[in-house]
């Protein structure tokens, strides 16, 4: 079987439809959420607050005023992600419950994707001191990304047998990193050559944000065409009424009986902690590199390109390790590496590109693999017919929607005035996640959920 060929139990048409949605949304995740928008929004907010963009030598210390509260321009983007995720805690479970009862699951997924893509395209209008528009569009984009991913993750269960989910999930993540790498490489050329193109650097950044939205929106047509809608399989009697009313009933029924699946819940809590750490490192990396270490935007994009390139192979490699050692052990090994990464980040010297690139390479090795295997492992623990609903809880800690990590990072920065203690503070999330994950009995959890046992766990 070829390295990127479809697993045995997966229809080739749906295989490519599934993979290409990771390819599509990674344009937003890399160009907008990871590299360009947080530092750009920070600069826009600094212009509004101080009348200029802050530098490492002359930072902006004037706060923005939001509902009577003083907000540091350097913490604004992270607070927006925090608010979006708190809203997700209320919104995404309802999305999941609706998706589980809907016979048009892929249509619902694509509708959220296209709304998020429109928000990303609209970021081209964020300039001057219009930080309010930027904060609103980031909120909408992240909420729509999380909503579409709730449904997308649940489709993994629909199209792959238990023994093939680690492979399919890992390959989809690999395709995502490849797509993100290609778009980011194009944007690197635009930002680097902005003078030759007759653009200011700000205009080049806004154009790159536009391309991310177009990438996400256009490539979403592939899963829309290739994935199949399936009749819902519900194990909960929720009464009559509208789809939304029935979905609330399904959600409340699941919460009422949540203690029936203790291993599923323990895995979910573990994931919430360690993925908060992962997502926060991703979200703050470009701001940390620019504002704390003094790197230019071109260096940051080149580093993320390196991460994306290595992550393509890292995701595939983790899939191979999981086939031999099991997903749980492989994830735990990855978390140990994440602990080393945040400690190294605290110690990185300013304006020294080689150590910064080395840390980027380490992130690339473990980034895709830990996330891809977490998705496939969790899918084994979900009761049949509640996939989207359970993945909606899972998405509360998924990429771009972490809240506790970004809140801690923002607060530590606001208290200390430095991003260094903020980055090392994230290590606690990996420690807690590793301890909790080590206590999950996967075989027991799969049996409790009533699912078939895979050969290797």
Query: The pTM is what?
Result: 0.80
pLDDT at site 400: 42
Residue 207 is encoded by which pair of tokens?
């154009």
pLDDT digits (tens, 9 = 90+) for 79-101: 887 788 778 777 888 888 888 88
pLDDT at site 401: 45
Q: What is the mean pLDDT of residues 259-271?
A: 89
pLDDT-based confidence at 251, cuts 50/70/90? low
Best CA proximity match to 302, nearest among 202, 201, 187: 187
pLDDT digits (tens, 9 = 90+) for 188-214: 889 889 999 999 989 999 999 999 999
pLDDT at site 105: 92
pLDDT at site 342: 93
Count of other CB atoms within 10 angstroms of residue 86: 15
Q: With H, G, I as helix, E, B as strand and everything else as coil, classify residue 135.
A: helix
Question: How is residue 255 annotated by DSSP?
Answer: H
pLDDT at site 255: 65
Average pLDDT over the chain, rounded to an integer = 86
pLDDT at site 254: 61
Q: How far apart are CA 2 and CA 229, in angstroms?
A: 28
pLDDT digits (tens, 9 = 90+) for 24-67: 999 998 889 877 888 899 889 888 888 888 776 778 888 888 87
pLDDT at site 9: 67
Looking at the chain, the whole-number percentage of residues with pLDDT higher than 90 is 42
Name the more confident of 394 and 37: 37
Q: By the 8 A CB rule, do 304 and 284 touch? A: no
pLDDT greater than 80 at residue 402? no
Name the more confident of 404 and 159: 159
- The upper half-sphere exposure of residue 21, i.e. CA atoms within 13 Å in the direction of its Cβ, equals 28
Q: How far apart are CA 163 and CA 455, in angstroms?
A: 7
Residue 11 is encoded by which pair of tokens?
């229809």
Determine which of 47-51, 150-154, 179-183, 329-333 has the lowest per-residue pLDDT on average.
47-51
Q: What is the mean pLDDT of residues 359-383?
A: 91
Q: What is the mean pLDDT of residues 248-257?
A: 63
- Torsion angle, CA of 60/66/71/73, rounded to 10 degrees? -40
Name the more confident of 131 and 233: 131
pLDDT greater than 60 at residue 399? no
pLDDT at site 247: 57
Q: How far apart are CA 242 and CA 183, in angstroms?
A: 41
Q: How far apart are CA 216 and CA 213, in angstroms?
A: 5
pLDDT digits (tens, 9 = 90+) for 117-147: 999 999 999 988 899 999 999 999 999 998 9
pLDDT at site 62: 84
pLDDT greater than 70 at residue 8? no
Best CA proximity match to 457, nearest among 313, 330, 282: 330
Strand partners for 71: 64
Looking at the chain, the whole-number percentage of residues with pLDDT higher than 70 is 90
Q: How far apart are CA 253 and CA 239, in angstroms?
A: 11
pLDDT at site 94: 83
Angle subtended at Cα 455 by Cα 451 and Cα 457, rounded to the nearest 5 degrees: 80
Q: What is the mean pLDDT of residues 3-27?
A: 84
Q: What is the mean pLDDT of residues 360-386?
A: 90
- What is the total residue count of the chain? 457
């Amino acid at each position: 079987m070829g390295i990127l060929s479809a697993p045995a139990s997966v229809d080739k048409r749906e295989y490519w439809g599934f993979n290409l949605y990771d390819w599509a949304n990674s344009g937003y995740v890399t160009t907008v959420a990871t590299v360009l928008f947080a530092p750009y929004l920070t600069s826009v907010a600094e212009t509004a607050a101080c009348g200029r963009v802050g530098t490492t030598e002359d930072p902006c210390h004037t706060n923005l005023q939001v509902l009577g509260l003083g907000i540091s321009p350097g913490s604004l983007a992270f607070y927006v992600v925090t608010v979006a995720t708190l809203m997700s805690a209320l919104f995404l479970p309802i999305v999941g419950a609706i998706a589980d009862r809907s016979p048009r699951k892929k249509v619902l997924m694509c509708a959220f994707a296209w709304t998020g893509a429109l928000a990303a395209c609209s970021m081209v209008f964020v300039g001057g001191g219009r930080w309010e528009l930027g904060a609103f569009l980031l909120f909408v984009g992240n909420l729509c990304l999380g909503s579409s991913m709730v449904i997308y993750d649940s489709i993994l269960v629909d199209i792959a047998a238990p023994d093939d989910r680690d492979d399919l999930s890992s390959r989809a993540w690999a395709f995502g990193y490849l797509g993100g790498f290609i778009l980011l490489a194009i944007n690197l050329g635009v930002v680097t050559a902005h003078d030759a193109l007759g653009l200011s650097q700000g205009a080049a950044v806004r154009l790159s944000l536009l391309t991310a939205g177009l990438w996400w929106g256009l490539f979403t047509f592939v899963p829309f065409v290739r994935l199949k809608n399936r009749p819902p399989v519900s194990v909960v009697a929720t009464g009559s009424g509208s789809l939304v009313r029935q979905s609330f009933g399904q959600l409340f029924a699941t919460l009422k009986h949540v203690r029936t699946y203790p291993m599923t819940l323990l895995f979910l809590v573990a994931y919430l902690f360690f993925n908060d750490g992962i997502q926060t490192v991703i979200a703050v990396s470009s701001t940390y590199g620019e504002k704390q270490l003094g790197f230019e935007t071109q260096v940051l994009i080149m580093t993320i390109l390196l991460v994306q390139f290595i992550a393509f192979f890292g995701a595939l490699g983790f899939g191979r390790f999981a086939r031999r050692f099991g997903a749980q052990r492989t994830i735990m090994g990855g978390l140990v590496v994440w602990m080393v990464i945040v400690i190294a980040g605290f110690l990185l010297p300013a304006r020294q590109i080689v150590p910064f690139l080395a840390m980027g390479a380490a992130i690339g090795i473990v980034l895709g693999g830990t996330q891809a295997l977490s998705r496939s492992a969790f899918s084994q623990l979900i009761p049949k017919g509640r996939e989207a609903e359970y993945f909606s809880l899972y998405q509360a800690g998924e990429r771009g929607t972490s809240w506790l990590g970004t809140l801690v990072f923002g607060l530590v920065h606001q208290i200390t005035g430095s991003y260094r203690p903020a980055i090392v503070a994230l290590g606690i999330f990996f420690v807690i996640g590793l301890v909790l994950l080590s206590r999950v009995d996967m075989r027991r959890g799969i049996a409790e959920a009533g699912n078939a046992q895979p050969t290797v766990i």
